[in-house]
């Protein structure tokens, strides 16, 4: 036996146990995809079975060169697959279901998030992230201190009520994420990360895991967060700018993905976990 050979140990988990679930519906467990190592060395994330189940969509998209034409093809496919223009055929006839539930779809969720990420749509999207990626929400209209807390139970109830009796809403969100990943690959074929920004007033608005010095920190983000690709836009929302190198697989959707999707200019909605970030005053 070579005494000079050192046993290679896996890096310690950087995602706290109370920020993750033991199972998810993704090709990587939460302890990995939510870790600092994943931010530094990302690999593609795939939701269970989605690309295979919707293979016809991606065969349709493959020969289309223009982003706007692909976006229209995607929206047409989703409308047809989920009967969004024929909700009575989907079993959501009037009198059976409240109007808000009948009209709940992936676009309304995205727009609701942009209007108020702590509203019902925000709760639905954060619950979706918990289910698909196994990352627990840390904040919703206030800190979520433990899964047995009153705040967390209210958040769960709001998200559950928002999903109840909707038209396969979680499946629509699965397809939205998968399409977003397809489009990001078309736009950034040689890149693994995007530099994204948030305007903040204090770094302690976030959960700091480690202070590295030189304006760098390791933080635990909420399981879903808004960023912008515009540094100037971020500067309008705080005295400091938080800069994160975000892995492309952690981008759920962004405002230019579909026409009129979000009201926020250059907004990106990003799955959380542990990130190393820097703070700038410029």
Which structural domain, as residue segments, surrounds residue 155?
50-187
Residue 237's pLDDT band (cuts 50, 70, 90)? confident
More confident residue, 250 or 85: 250
Indicate the number of domains in the chain: 2
What six digits make up the tokens of 144? 């979520």
pLDDT at 2: 46
Same domain, 247 and 165: no
pLDDT at 82: 94
Same domain, 62 and 160: yes
> Among residues 139, 165, 187, which one ends one of the domains?
187
pLDDT at 92: 56
Same domain, 137 and 182: yes
Highest mean pLDDT of the ranges 82-91, 149-158, 178-187: 178-187
Same domain, 197 and 182: no
> Among residues 140, 162, 187, which one ends one of the domains?
187
Q: Does residue 133 lie in a domain region?
A: yes
Q: Residue 8 carries which DSSP code? A: P
- CA 127/CA 114 separation, integer angstroms: 16
Sign for the CA dihedral angle at 138, 165, 113, 31 comes to positive
Quick check: 262 and 110 in contact, CB under 8 A? Answer: yes
pLDDT at 98: 53
| Ramachandran sector of residue 266 (left: φ over 0; alpha: ψ -120 to 50; beta: rest) | left
Radius of gyration of the chain (CA): 20
Residue 262's pLDDT band (cuts 50, 70, 90)? confident
């Amino acid at each position: 036996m070579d005494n000079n050979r050192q046993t290679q140990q896996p890096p310690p988990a950087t995602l706290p146990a109370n920020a993750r679930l033991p199972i998810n519906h993704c090709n990587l467990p939460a302890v990995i995809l939510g870790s600092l190592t994943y931010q530094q060395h990302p690999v593609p994330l795939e939701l269970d079975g989605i690309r295979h189940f919707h293979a016809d969509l991606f065969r349709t998209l493959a020969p289309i060169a223009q982003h706007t034409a692909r976006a229209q093809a995607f929206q047409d496919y989703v409308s047809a697959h989920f009967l969004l223009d024929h909700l009575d055929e989907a079993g959501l006839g009037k009198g059976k279901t409240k109007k808000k539930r009948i009209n709940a779809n992936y676009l309304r969720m995205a727009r609701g998030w942009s209007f108020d990420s702590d509203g019902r749509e925000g709760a639905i999207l954060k619950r979706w992230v918990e289910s698909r990626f196994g990352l627990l929400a840390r904040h919703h209209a206030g800190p979520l201190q433990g899964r047995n807390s009153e705040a967390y139970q209210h958040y769960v109830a709001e998200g559950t009520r928002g999903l109840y009796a909707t038209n396969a809403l979680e499946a629509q969100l699965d397809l939205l994420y998968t399409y977003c990943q397809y489009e990001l690959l078309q736009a950034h074929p040689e890149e693994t990360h995007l530099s994204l920004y948030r305007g903040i007033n204090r770094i302690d608005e976030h959960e700091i895991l480690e202070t590295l010095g030189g304006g760098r920190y390791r933080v635990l983000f909420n399981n879903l967060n808004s960023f912008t690709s515009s540094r100037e836009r971020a500067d309008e929302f705080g005295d400091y700018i938080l800069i994160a190198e975000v892995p492309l697989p952690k981008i759920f959707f962004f405002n230019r993905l579909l026409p009129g999707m979000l009201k926020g200019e250059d907004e990106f909605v990003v799955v959380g976990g542990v990130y190393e970030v820097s703070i700038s005053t410029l």
